[in-house]
């Protein structure tokens, strides 16, 4: 029993969170730190990193790198040494739009951080992860139940889910899973005008089975679970308030 408890603990484990300066990433960093983990967060925004570090325990580290740049990701992991868990939550503000209004060049850029950045992170980190460790990526329920205007978002989410399953097979026994959130109240929606954003939250809350919008701290609990559990791999855990059922 004692060995089982130790194995499932984050106490003194090294956790690296790419996209950890805001939103789901920062909420996960705080939750992991509360369980005794040593935290390293990474973001492309220096001021956000500085702000986030002030919200984390002493000894936490923050690094500014461009997650669209493979060489910067490679160099970062060459300097980290071995660690226990990687979480990838990085992503820019979300874009919703009909296919007829989609600028393909701009659409390709959304894959740079959300998909290619994650792929590079897995490529250069997998060999550094200690036995019993894990990688947890991020997709979204748009891949399962897209609405009108969600062609781009659904494509990215579907790609991430498939990539996670493929890596779980290829890199076994390293556990690789994905968190698939619904609409959550985070800064990813800050590109919308305030009234439009509030309307989105209100309408979503009214439609969801749980009757409320998701919060970053609630989704963070799923990342913590996937780090601590020792048997599931290649899975996409949906945390959406029932969105895929309505």
Active site residues: 139
Which residues, including other chains, have CB under 8 Å from residue 148's CB and lie 6 or more apart? 98
The phi, psi pair for 121, rounded to 5°, reads -60, -45
Collapse the DSSP code of 38 into the 3-class scheme (helix H, G, I; strand E, B; otherwise coil) and give the result: strand
Which residues, including other chains, have CB under 8 Å from residue 232's CB and lie 6 or more apart? 175, 177, 226
Residue labelled with tokens 């963070």: 220
CA distance 76 to 121: 10
118-125 vs 151-170: helix crossing angle, rounded to 10: 10
């Amino acid at each position: 029993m004692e060995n089982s408890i130790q194995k499932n603990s984050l106490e003194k484990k090294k956790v690296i969170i790419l996209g950890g300066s805001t939103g789901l990433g920062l909420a996960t960093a705080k939750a992991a730190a509360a369980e005794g983990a040593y935290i390293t967060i990474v973001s492309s925004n220096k001021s956000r990193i500085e702000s986030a570090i002030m919200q984390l325990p002493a000894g936490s580290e923050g690094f500014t790198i461009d997650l669209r740049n493979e060489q910067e990701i490679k160099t970062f992991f060459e300097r980290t040494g071995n660690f226990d868990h990687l979480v990838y939550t990085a992503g820019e503000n979300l874009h919703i739009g009909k296919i007829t209004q989609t600028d393909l060049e701009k659409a390709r850029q959304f894959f740079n951080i959300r998909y290619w950045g994650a792929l590079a992170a897995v490529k250069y980190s997998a060999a550094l992860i200690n036995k019993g460790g894990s990688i947890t990526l991020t997709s979204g329920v748009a891949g399962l139940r897209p609405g009108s205007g969600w062609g781009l978002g659904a494509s990215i989410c579907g790609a991430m889910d498939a990539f996670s399953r493929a890596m779980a097979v290829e890199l076994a026994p390293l556990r690789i899973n994905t968190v698939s959130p619904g609409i959550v109240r985070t800064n990813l929606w800050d590109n919308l005008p305030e009234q439009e954003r509030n309307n989105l939250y209100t309408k979503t809350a009214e439609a969801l089975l749980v009757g409320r919008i998701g919060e970053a701290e609630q989704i963070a609990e799923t990342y913590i679970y996937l780090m601590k559990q020792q048997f599931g791999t290649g899975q996409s855990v949906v945390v959406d308030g029932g969105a895929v059922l309505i």
